[in-house]
Amino acid sequence: MGVAQGGITSPFLFKSFLADLGEHLSDECGIILCESIVKHLLWADDLFLVSPSAALMQTQLNNLKAYCSQWRLVVNAMKTKILVFGVKDPGKFKFTFGDNVIETSVSYTYLGNLVKDSRNPFTKIDEVILHKCYKACYKIRDYVDAVGQLIPSHAVHFFNVLIAPLLDYGSEVWYSEGVADKLEVFQKKIYKRNLSVRTNTPDEAVFGELGVLPISIRLKKNLLKYFHRLDTLPNSSPVK
């Protein structure tokens, strides 16, 4: 389901149309977290259904189909995927939404984060993040080439505004020292290129010259803020 990209009324319309969706999804098909039954997650215009078994998931899909038919809503079946956890051969299951067969996948990108069925569900998250960052860098370079070399302070500003948010997006959930180290290598590479210095230039000199901190500091700060928020939530909260 979708609304106009960037439209100021989009969040209101989406919230209004789906306000009663939970009433049409079966509690028996949800999962229990703490003392709450979770049947679905909604964020912006993304819908995430949760069920403990394939049969119950199909029931939820049928309920969603009936709800959409009632209110004349359309689900983009091409962008809809099923992620099965804890099964060696998830392809043996078949899920449908109306007349459309929903693809079963071993990974899925939800809210910009790659989720996989593994002990570490965010395996290779660094590759996903760096792919986005390099695309953004190439796009910035296309614009910059038209005006010439950026002075260091402007380059840092571009990085902080356009690249850093990509590096730390969702880091409160996927953070690990290994991923942080790889992202910091990328940050240092970009900064040294902006300063037109050699790759073996001491990192401390680069950060000191630009007056910036390693991205790992920003990631750890985000993590601590998130832990503090969790600590202040009531014990009955499913998030905690």
How many angstroms separate the CA atoms of 25 and 50, rounded?
10
Backbone CA torsion sign across 94, 99, 105, 109: negative
pLDDT in tens, 5-22: 666 777 777 778 888 999
Q: Which residue has the higher pLDDT, 116 or 136?
A: 136
Q: Is the pLDDT of residue 73 over 70?
A: yes
Q: What is the pLDDT of residues 148-190, one digit of tens each?
A: 778 889 989 999 999 999 999 999 988 999 999 999 999 999 9
Contact by Cβ (8 Å): 159, 190: yes
**What helix, strand, coil percent values describe the chain, rounded to 5?**
50, 15, 35
Q: What is the pLDDT of residues 47-65, one digit of tens each?
A: 899 999 999 999 999 999 9
pLDDT score at 176: 92
Other Cβ atoms closer than 10 A to 187: 23
Distance CA 14, CA 10 (A): 6
| Pick from 46, 40, 42: nearest CA to 2 | 46
**Which 3-state string (H, E, C) describes 98-119?**
CCEEEEEECEEEECCEEEECCC
